[in-house]
Amino acid sequence: MQSLHALIRAVPDFPAPGVTFRDVTPLLADAAAFARCIELLAEPWHDAGVQAVCAIEARGFIFGAALATHLKAGFVPLRKPGKLPPPVVAMTYELEYGRDALEARADAFRPGERVLIVDDVLATGGTLGAARALVEQVGATPVGASVLIELAALPGRARWGEALPLHALMRY
């Protein structure tokens, strides 16, 4: 098995000039590496009483569903608007280039349910923050977040804050 870092492909100037896209598909294609990745992402949460894992569309679903299985927890997808049947709850958030929103089924979480938030990449923190706010809005309890990659030069970790743990498997 190659190192996990070696399986993340840097694609310069994609999707826009000056952006380096982190392609996770080589990692996903290596069964042993993907299994190890899930083990490492789950490590800090084994004793956290996680009852549900929610993950952000789309690549977050890959890691979130596998983590939920590993942690023996339920899985809740957080989707872009219009992808879930009603009733839904929504959270709008700011992006560098506009606004977006996440939705969850209104009954996706039980009150007080302990929820781990998962995404593939933490950049500016807007999406992860919206996921946290959405979990809180429906009365569940976020226990923290796990991401595959943190882009350390961007303010995502600072925006997340220190009140809840944030686990990043790799930093670039």
Give the catalytic positions in this structure. 59, 96
CA distances from 38 to 43, 73, 148 (A): 9, 14, 9
Diameter of the chain by CA atoms? 44
* Element (DSSP H or E) covering residue 121: strand 114-122
